[in-house]
Amino acid sequence: MIHLKKAPEIKKMRKVGKLAAKLLEYIAPFVEEGISTQAINDICSKWIKEHGAIAGPLNYKGFPKSICTSINDVVCHGIPKKEDLLKKGDIVNIDITLILDGYYGDTSKTFLIGEVSDEAKKLVEVTKKALTRAIMNVKPGERINIIGNTIQDYVTKYRYSVVTELGGHGIGRHFHEEPCVFHHRQKQKGVVLKEGMTFTIEPMINQGKKDVFTDPYDKWTVYTLDGLLSAQFEHTVLVTSKGAEVLTIRD
Ligand code: MF3
Ligand code: CO
Ligand code: CO
């Protein structure tokens, strides 16, 4: 069942979405060469507490940290570590999920560390545009497969591939709700988008092949199988009569 949000819930979703966006803005100057992903985690964790919120990932199905940090060939769910220092040329996705007043907001961005290769820069830019294009096509009455179709058709032009193992998700009082949001082309049209739906769109785009695997030891970190780069951007959106309202929009 897809839970449609009405005014009081929408108000809370806007509030938590805005706060998650603010944290991504706040950490930007810290995300530089030489910092460890653990240190970024700790800065976020402190900020989250100071703002009266809770980190969604911490202890979620046993996830050990407050944020996900995914470097280069890590597709998603990277675990912050004190040994993992950012270096020039890296791309790193920072995924923030907050809980405020019982509601979740989820957003992520891929940062460039110092001078990055043209190939990496292009991948990050195309991934960001793929998300923007998908968001622009969200309208009540459209089918949800418009999202995956838009993303796949766009990134395929650059010979990138869309990760199919993980997707976006409904979000609200729970981290992951219905519907599942596929980022790749779907034959089935899927559900009709309706006003009051809230879900994430979070394409993971690979430079090479779409295949991924999960770290057998930590059971979380998802890597590209070919070792090539992967980028991701994520927003939480609300379907309104006019289209998508991006709840996690940054200034
Ligand atoms: N924030 C991720 C998402 O976009 C989920 C992270 S789950 C965690 O859905 F446990 F790894 F934190
Ligand atoms: Co998400
Ligand atoms: Co996320």
Q: What is the pLDDT of residues 66-116, one digit of tens each?
A: 999 999 999 999 999 999 999 999 999 999 999 999 999 999 999 999 999
State which of 60, 63, 95 you would mutate to test the pocket of ligand 1, scoring each by most atoms of that ligand within 8 A of its C-beta: 95
Q: How many Cα atoms within 13 Å fall on the side-chain side of residue 74?
A: 20
pLDDT tens figures, 5-44? 999 999 999 999 999 999 999 999 999 999 999 999 999 9
What DSSP character marks residue 192?
B
* Angstrom distance (rounded) from CA 215 to CA 81: 15
The response to whether residue 77 sits with its C-beta less than 6 Å from ligand 1 reads yes
- Quickly state the pLDDT bin for 3 (edges 50, 70, 90): very high
pLDDT value for 158? 98
% of the chain with per-residue pLDDT over 90: 100
Contact, 27 vs 37, CB < 8 A?
A: no
Mean pLDDT, to the nearest integer, of 216-226?
98
Q: Using CA positions, which residue lies closest to atom 12 of ligand 1?
A: 57
Instruction: Give the amino acid at 42.
Output: D
Question: What is the radius of gyration, based on Cα positions, of the chain?
Answer: 17
Find the 109 Cα to ligand 3 centroid distance in Å: 9
- Report the alpha-carbon angle 66-42-231, nearest 5: 60
Q: List alpha helices for the chain, DSSP H.
A: 7-27, 37-50, 118-136, 145-156
Q: Residue 112 has what pLDDT?
A: 98
pLDDT at 15: 98
pLDDT in tens, 111-169: 999 999 999 999 999 999 999 999 999 999 999 999 999 999 999 999 999 999 999 99
Give yes or no for residue 245 CB within 6 A of ligand 1: no
CB 206 within 8 A of CB 75: yes
Picking from 114, 117, 113, 68, the residue whose alpha carbon sits closest to that of residue 93 is 68
Which residue has the least CA distance to atom 11 on ligand 1?
77
> Does ligand 1 have an atom closer than 6 angstroms to the CB of 104?
no
| Residue 73 CB–ligand 1 contact under 6 Å | no
Asked if 31 and 86 count as a contact pair (C-beta separation under 8 A), the reply is yes
Cα 246 to middle of ligand 2, angstroms? 14
In terms of C-beta density within 10 A (0-12 exposed, 13-18 middle, 19 or more buried), how is residue 157 classed?
A: exposed
Ligand nearest to the CA of 77: 1
Rounded to an integer, the average pLDDT of 240-246 is: 98
Q: How far is the CA of 201 from the centre of ligand 2 (A)?
A: 7
Q: Is the CB of 68 under 6 A from ligand 1?
A: yes
Return the pLDDT at 236.
99
User: What atom of ligand 1 comes closest to residue 62's alpha carbon?
Assistant: 10
Q: Is 234 in the pocket of ligand 1 (CB under 6 A)?
A: yes
Q: Say how far apart CA 221 and CA 21 lie, in whole Å.
A: 24
C-alpha to C-alpha distance for 190 and 163, rounded to whole angstroms: 19
